[in-house]
Structure formats: structure tokens, C-alpha cells
Structure 1
Amino acid sequence: MSSISASKRIKGWMMYDWASQPYHTLILTFIFGPYFAEQLIAHLSATGLDEATARAQAQSIWGAGLTIAGVSIAVLAPILGAIADGTGRRMPWIWIFSACYIVGATGLWIASPTDFPTYTVLAFFILGMIGVEFTTIFTNAMLPSLGTKEEIGKVSGDGWAWGYVGGVLALILMLVFFAENATGVTLIGSAPLFGLDPEAREGTRFVGPFVAIWFALSMIPFFLWVREPKGTGMNIGTAVTSGLASLGKTLKSLPSRQSLLAYLMSSMFYRDALNGVFAFGGVYALGVLQWSVVSVGVFGILAALSGAIFTYVGGFQDRKFGPKPVIIFCIIALIIICLSIISITRESVLLISVSSDSSLPDIAFYVCGVSLGAVGGVIQSASRTMMVRQADPERMTEAFGLFALSGKATSFLAPSLIAAATALTNSQRLGITPLIGLFLIGLILLAWVTPDGEKVK
């Protein structure tokens, strides 16, 4: 253990962001999410639904899948975090949930357009989401051991930026060599590699196994270079009992810890809204602007590239000003981006009419994507450094479990509000308006957050 330098430990830890980002970039947002919507819309239309209703219902079903995953994570995250703190071990949990990630992602291969197994596909997607979210909890809890309070903001920013670079590279590889468009060819006009059948959409469906392989290979440096101290020796039964007791004590203390409680509540709303933007962005572009999966993928490349650049820069701002001012700036920018997105249709941009064959709506949406990637990466990086400042150093995994809980306790809110608004208005464009309200609530609650947290009594 002593032969592994601090620099190598940081690099190994950063490889987790590189390994896991493609699940968010390729599966959740830019490749599989739109593909799922596309196939479900076709399936629903074949049953006799009109196109608008089929699109709205597909968005609602996708939202339901995200809701189930979110509730599962919200219930288990703080409990497992408390148990991990009791045993002093995080690495075994990372191994377990890495397996969930790999199995869940690989299972998406079955999403054949000829006999689209909607709910089985959703089950694999949910398993993969559980895997990525729980591995994130346990790796985030290692962040404080990588530097001082001032240094970890930069470490977090560098890690998140490195993750975006991995997401960009994975997305480019997927679009260039595998994901086929309506004519059966990839972005460079060739057939998918390895003889994958474009008629059966095997190139696009390969996104699941591709992400699983990427994760498995990329986690090798993490498991080789990242070490944790020896455990407490506490057996699992005692760890469960003491972990639940500690969690109960922490929850009871929250009302007296104003800053921590306000931050958990604030992040609960603004992260839920941000996840809603990412989860429905590709589906929105496919439905409202009639983009292809490949076009959505190009949109994703631009968003991820800007995310890599600006998150790296944001790490310096985090170290200089602290995470709170960075988060406030990002929420205001995200509200502006959402308002801009809502104003974009095939016939208008910023509520100004354009001809139906104009490319201006596409350009405007690309600009929104670049802005979203930039701000989204910065706020997520700053959010985890803010959590480190608010948490009890002795209960860091439990704290990130609560952080996950705050991010998932209302994770059903954005998808269900979008689903409800979409169903009520029968409009994908108006369906995403609830996100603005969630961002505003998160912004207001930050007024009660102390930048450096409160001393634990």
C-alpha cells in the first residue's frame, strides 16, 4: 500500500469518473434513451395510437423507469452508507455494485425492434442505474482522503472533467463505428463494425455491452491504485445494527444542523431538475425537433466536450471561491437554458417564428446542449465538494448515502411532473416546464447553507 503514491491514488480514483460517465452519456441521455423512445413510439403507434399521444406515452413510461430506479436508490443508499462506515469498508460494495452496472448495461442488448420487450429492457436499465449510483456513493466517500479541504474541490473538478473526456470518447466511438441512422449507416457512412445487423438495430443496441466493457476495463486502475485502511473488524450483523442506529441518530440531528439540512433539501430539488434535463434532453430533441439518434449523439458530443472543458475550469473556481457561489451561478444559468429550450420548436426559436425548413432551431438546440454540458458538469462537481464540507468526517459514506437519498428521495418528482405535464398538455415542449420550478426551489434553499458547514457536536 505504501508504494502507491498520493498522485497515483488520485489518478486511480479519477478513473471511476472515466469508467462510469458513459452510462450517463450513452445510455441515459444520448444513445439508448432516444432509441428506447423511438422503438416504444413505433410500438405504441402500431397499436393504433396517434403519433403525438404515442410520443407522450413513451416519455411517461421512460419517466416511470427512472422513478423506480430513484426510489430504490433513495431507500437503500443511506442504510448501506451507514453500514459501510461501521465496517470501515467501501471497496466490497464497489465490487458488488460494479457487477450490477455491468449486468444491467449488458442486458440492454435484448432491446430488439422486432419484438421490443419494454419492461424487461426497463428492468436491466434500472439494475444498471442502481449499479452506477451506488458505486458513485462509495467512491465519492473516498474524496476527503485525497487532499485538504481546499484541494478536494480541484480534485473533484478534475475527476468530473476526466469523466466527461471519457464520455466524449466513448460517444464518438459509438457514433463512428456502431450506432446506425435511418439508412443503416454510422456517422461516417459505414455499416456497424463486427457485422452487426443495421436492420435489427444491432449497432445501436450494442451500446449496452459496449458501456459494460468500457466500465470493466477502465476500473482496473481504480482497483489497482485505490486503497482504503483496514476495516474495523466489525461483523456484518453488528455493522447493520450500529449502522442503522447511527443513521437514526444522524436523521434526528438534522433539524438542529440547519446548514446540512438546507443543503440536502436544496440539492434534492436542483439535482432532480438537472437529472430531468439530462434524462429527457435526447427524448425531447427526437420528439420535438424530429432528430435521429445519430443527431442526438452529435448533440451529446458537443455537450460532453464543453462539460470536460468547463468542469476543469470550474475546479479552479471551486478552489478559489468555494462551492456555494459556483452552485448558485450554475442554477441561474440552468434556469435560463431551460427557458431557452422550451422556446425552441421546428417553427420558432425564442418565441420568434421561423420557416419550417430553417436550421435555426437545430443550431439553437446545439447551443443549449453546449451550455447544458458546461454548467451541468460544474454544478455536479461543486455539489460533491459542498457535501464534503457539510458532512461529519467520521461518517462520510453515510453522508454521501444521505446525499444520494436527497438526490433520489424526490427523484420521482421530475420524471413524474414531466410525465404528468406532458400527459395533461399532450405536448413534449410544455412537459418539461416543471423543471424550472424545481431549480428555483433549490436556489432559494441555498440561502440557509453555510459555505463551510457546521461543526459537528
Structure 2
Amino acid sequence: MDASAKSTSTNGARCRRIWGWYFFDWASQPYNTILLTFIFGPYLKELLGDGTRAQAAWGFGIAGAGVTMAILAPILGALADTSGTRMRWIWIFSIMYVAGSAGLWFAAPGNFNLPLSLICFAIGLVGMEFATIFTNALLPDLGSQDEIARISGNGWAFGYLGGLLALITVVCLFAEDPATGATILDRPPLLGLDPEMREGTRAAGPFTALWYVVFMVPFFAFVRDPRPRNAPHGTIRQAILDVVGTVKSLPTRPSLFAFLGASMFYRDALNGMFTFGGIYAAGVLGWSVVETGLMGVIAIVVSTLFAWMGGRAAELFGPKRVIMVSIVVLVVVAFCFIFVSRGAVFGVPVASGSKLPDIIFYVLGATIGAAGGTLLPCSRTMMVEQGDSSKMTEGFGLYALSGKATSFLTPLSIGAVTAATGSQQMGVTPLVLWLVIGFVLLTFVRPAQGHQTETDCGQYAPGS
């Protein structure tokens, strides 16, 4: 094989690996869009019949999963680094993803078991989050330092497209309005599913599991993480010692320390907005699963566009600046949440049956999508810039820890404030505090220095 043919073959293999890596986001995103935010959360409110109780239960349940992830994420990351493999862990946590999401089928009306449903949801959520840690750790190997921001943004945009298509499918073909028993297309749920037993909405769980199984095929087909020669045999004890050593060394790396602290708060607040947005709209505005699903479609369309734009903005201005602007936007949105209800908008009473609160909430949902679409891929890029290339899985384990160490804080604080005040609107006030803390800590982060260059593999970049 001559040099030109060899170069073409190598470049083709690299592009296939990048596209395979993209497919993890495509396959896993429906857990966020369908189950966490727009379908299952509002459905939980319908089953419990009380928005305040549902929001509190949702918060406490997710907080429990967050504690598990906070404890294990950095240890598993260090274990993967010392054992020299990541793909094995992605397989294991993929099984949890599929089992947990499929188990939500059993959340049936009339015989609803809240603890069992929350346990199934937590198993799937932990599987998704842990699989994401090891997949993110593959990012630095996909391109040069100057290409990472674009690859990260494109991957997130591609994932949002997958979440959008999956959500549209569920909203149009499965999720039924409880009043009419029909989907948004005014047709009964597909496959003869029983609307009275909410089988169309419950099918969102198995659908999410099947979606993941099908679309992880390209990932496992094209992405490789071979064990390096003479790799040390990883042990849990050694992994714990590595994590302890890394954590102790963080004060000597003030920029990374500040970034992890900042992301601990602002990502948790953003996750809170995504997690509670649907159940908030269901309780405060009385939206059905179909209406929250429509809001999800709008939000994801905007998220897809801004994730793609965010990768390019990070190349031009640096990820830190993009993240800071996104946080400011989210603070404004969090304040607006408090002042929008069925009876009044920003303190001004509205007539009964007015659509103004609905329109404003759709706009707020789209704005969250825009800010989240830029903030998340840019945060992933900044972690690559700030982290140690020789310990990238452990680094993303710490990144996950920074996102999960307080992952119980937002749902727990929202659950506690909601329960204490008896108001869903007042219950979301902690979001403002966590966003502000994240913004302040981010000011201490020192951006990485580098030059922007064009990628030599343009065909892998969606929209480029």
C-alpha cells in the first residue's frame, strides 16, 4: 500500500471512529429527553395527582441516584485508567441503561408502585451517566487539541437530533392525552396499546431501551479502546488511592479546581431545569404529557442548533466565555420561572383561559435549550483542556463527581423547598443560587492557550 492510500485508509478509520463516538450521544439522549424531562416526569404527576407531591418525590428519587454516582464515578474512572480499558465499562453500564428504562413499563395506573418506578429510573440513570463518563474520556483521542471543541459540539448536536427524533416518535405515535386517549396526531397509540392503561405513555420506557440497543451498534462497531501493552492490572484499592491522590493535588492546580467547583453548581442547576421543567409545567400550568412533549420538541430543536454553534463559538472565543454567557441566560430564565403561572405573568393577572402563560413557558423552554446546548459541550471541551491527558478517564470521573457530588443538592433543595412552601413556583428558587455560585467560581478558571485550525476530516462534522 503506497503512502497516499495508507493515509486515506487511516483518515477513513479515524472518521468512522468519530462518527461511532457520535452515536453514543444519539443513542443515549432519549433517556434525558423522553424519560427524565418531557414524558415520564409529567406522567408521574398524573399518577400521583398532585404536582407538589410529584415534584418532591421526583427530587428525592433523583437525589438518591446522584449520591450513588458521586461516590463511584471517580473510583470507576481511575480503575478504567489503571486497567487500560473503557469499553468494558461502557458495556456494563449500557446493560443498566436498558434494564432500567425498560422497567418503567410497569408504572401502570391503578397499581402504581412509586418506589419500584423510582428504583428502575435510578438504575437506568446511573447506567447512562456512568457510560457517559467513559465515552467522554475517549474524546481527547478523536482529534487534535484544536479540533476537540468542534468534535464535542458536533457530537452534542448529533445527540440532540437523536433525542428530537425519538421524542417526536413517542409524542406522535405513543404518548396519549388522558382526556381523549389519542396522541397529538389525534390517533390511538401505535401497536394497539391501551390508552386507558396508559400503555402508550408507558411504552416510552421500552422504546428508549430499544432505541439505545439499535443505535449503539455503530459505536461498538467503530470505536476501539485496546488495552495498551504492559498495562498495569487495575484494582479497586489502587483506583481509590489514585483518586485520593488526585483530589489532594487539586489545590495545586487552582484552575482545574475552580472549574470542577464551578461546574459542580452550574451543571447541577441546568440538570435541575431539565429534570423539573416538564413536571413543573404539568403542575403549575396543568399541561398534559402531550403538551410537555411539544415543549420538548421545541427545546431540542433549539438545543441542536446551539450545540452546533457552541462548538464554533468555543473555537472563536474560548469555552469559558461561552459558558459564562450561558449561565447568565439561565439565571434570567430561573427568575422568570417563579413569576409565570396560570393566573398571572410577572405579577400581572391574566384572564382565565389565556394562552399567554403557555407561550411564555414555551419561550423559556426554548431558551433553556439554547443555553444548555452551548454550555454542556463547551464544558466537556474545557474539561479536556484542564485535565491530565494520561488520566483522562479519572479526570472525567472527577468531572462527573463535580456534577454529581451536589447532584442531590438541586433535587433535594427543590424537593425540600417545595414541600416546605407547598408551592412549585417557590420550590425552584434554589436554582438561582447554584447558578450564581457557579458563575463566580468560573471567574477563577484560567483558559487554555491554543490556536484554532481547520480539521482535516470535514466529512465527519454535521453541518460543516
Normalized against structure 2, the TM-score is what?
0.93
In 1, distance between residues paired with 2:11 and 2:310? 32
Question: 2:294 — aligned with what?
Answer: 298
- Quick check: 1:214 aligned with 2:222? no
Distance 1:198 1:244, change over 3 A: same
1:384 pairs, out of 380, 386, 409, with 380
Say which is worse superposed, 394-403 or 414-423, in terms of deviation: 414-423
Letter in structure 2 aligned against 1:286: A
Q: Residues 87 and 232 of structure 1 are in contact (CA less than 8 Å); yes or no, is this contact kept in structure 2? A: no
Pairwise mapping of residues 359-438 of structure 1 onto structure 2 (< 5 A)?
359-438=355-434
Separation in 2 of the partners of 1:107 and 1:3? 41
The residue that corresponds to 1:20 in the other structure is 28
Q: Does 1:7 align with 2:15?
A: yes
Q: Report the Cα distance in structure 2 between the residues aligned to 1:225 and 1:422, rounded to whole angstroms.
A: 46
Shift of 1:55: 2.6
- For each residue in 1:180-207, what CA deviation from the matched residue of structure 2 results, as whole angstroms up to 9, or x when unmatched? 0021000101111111100000000000
> CA 1:2–1:87 in 2, change beyond 3 Å: closer, same or farther?
farther
Aligned-pair CA distance for 1:232: 4.8
**Match for 2:188 among 191, 195, 199?**
191
Contact 1:64 1:415 in 2 (8 A): yes
Q: C-alpha distance in 1, partners of 2:413/2:46?
A: 21
CA contact (8 A) 2:51 2:284 kept: no
CA distance in 2, matches of 1:444, 1:342: 23
Give the Cα separation in 2 of the matches to 1:60 and 1:200: 25
Say whether 1:282 aligns with 2:290. no
Q: Which residue of 1 aligns with 2:150?
A: 154
Aligned to 1:243: 239
Aligned-residue RMSD, C-alpha: 1.5
Deviations 1:308-334 (Å, cap 9, x if unpaired)? 011111110011111100000000000
**Whole-Å separation in 2 of the counterparts to 1:16 and 1:37:** 30
Structure 2: give runs of 5+ residues left out of the alignment: 1-8, 450-464
**1:49 alignment counterpart:** none
Q: Deviations over 1:36-79 (max 9, x none)?
A: 121022xxxxxxxxxxxx43222111111100110001111000
Q: Which of 221, 224, 228 is the aligned partner of 1:224?
A: 221
The more displaced of 331-340 and 32-41 is: 32-41
Out of 135, 139, 146, the position equivalent to 1:143 is 139
CA distance in 2, matches of 1:240, 1:119: 31
Q: Which amino acid aligns with 2:32?
A: H
Residue of structure 1 equivalent to 2:330: 334
**1-structure distance, mates of 2:230, 2:66:** 32
Instruction: State the identity %.
Output: 51
Partner residue of 2:80? 84
In the alignment, residue 225 of structure 2 is paired with which amino acid?
E
- 2:197 aligns with one of 196, 200, 203: 200
Shift of the alpha carbon at 1:2?
Answer: 5.9
Give, in angstroms, the shift of residue 243 of structure 1: 2.2
Instruction: Measure, in 2, the Cα distance between the counterparts of 1:79 and 1:399.
Output: 10
Q: Is the 8 A contact 1:4 1:225 kept in 2?
A: no
The Cα shift of 1:261 comes to 0.8
Q: Secondary structure of the residue that 2:163 maps to in structure 1? A: helix
Whole-Å Cα distance in 2 between the matches of residues 58 and 281 of structure 1?
A: 13
Q: Which amino acid aligns with 1:19?
A: A
Q: Which runs of 5+ in 1 are unaligned?
A: 42-53
- CA deviations over 1:341-398 (Å, ceiling 9, x no partner): 2211112222222112111000000001111111112101101101011100000000
Deviation larger for 88-97 or 247-256: 247-256
Query: Deviation of residue 233 (structure 1)?
Result: 5.1
Matched residue SS, 2:175: coil
- Work out the number of aligned pairs and report it: 441
Residue 173 of structure 1 and its aligned partner are, at CA, apart by: 0.4
Paired residue secondary structure (1:372):
helix
Task: Write the distance in 1 (CA, Å) between the matches of 2:425 and 2:352.
Answer: 17
Q: What per-residue deviation string (whole Å, max 9, x for no partner) do you get for residues 250-279 of structure 1?
A: 111011111111111100000111111111
Comparing 224-233 with 438-447, greater Cα deviation is found at 224-233
Q: Which of 108, 111, 123 is equivalent to 1:112?
A: 108
Asked if structure 2 preserves the Cα contact closer than 8 Å seen for 1:324 and 1:386, the reply is yes
* Residue in 1 that maps onto 2:457: none
Distance 1:381 1:74 in 2: 21
Aligned match of 1:30: 38
CA distance in 1: counterparts of 2:64 and 2:237, whole angstroms: 27
Task: Name the counterpart of 2:159.
Answer: 163
Q: Which moved more, 1:337-346 or 1:65-74?
A: 337-346
Shift of 1:235: 6.6
Partner of 2:343 in structure 1?
Answer: 347
Cα distance in 1, alignment partners of residues 290 and 230 from structure 2: 51
CA distance in 2, matches of 1:194, 1:2: 45
Kindly tell me: are residues 3 and 118 of structure 1, through their superposed partners in 2, closer, same or farther at Cα, counting changes over 3 Å?
A: same
Instruction: Verify: 1:39 aligned to 2:35, yes or no.
Output: no
1:180 is aligned to 176
- Match of 2:20, as an amino acid? G
Which whole-Å CA distance do the structure 2 matches of 1:245 and 1:55 have between them?
44
Q: CA deviation at 1:412?
A: 1.0
Q: 2:67–2:408: 8 Å Cα contact kept in structure 1?
A: yes
Q: 1:335 to 1:3 in 2, by over 3 A?
A: closer
Segments of 4+ moved more than 3 angstroms: 1-4, 231-236
| Alignment-derived partner of residue 45 in structure 1 | none
Distance across 2 between alignment mates of 1:234 and 1:65: 39
Q: Which amino acid aligns with 1:172?
A: I
Partner of 2:354: 358
Is 1:272–2:261 an aligned residue pair? Answer: no
Q: Which residue of the partner structure matches residue 321 of structure 1?
A: 317
Secondary structure of 2:146's counterpart equals helix
Look up the equivalent residue of 2:39 and give its one-letter code. I
Amino acid at match of 1:361: P
Report the Cα offset of residue 246 of structure 1.
Answer: 1.7
Q: d(CA) in 2 for partners of 1:230 and 1:345?
A: 55
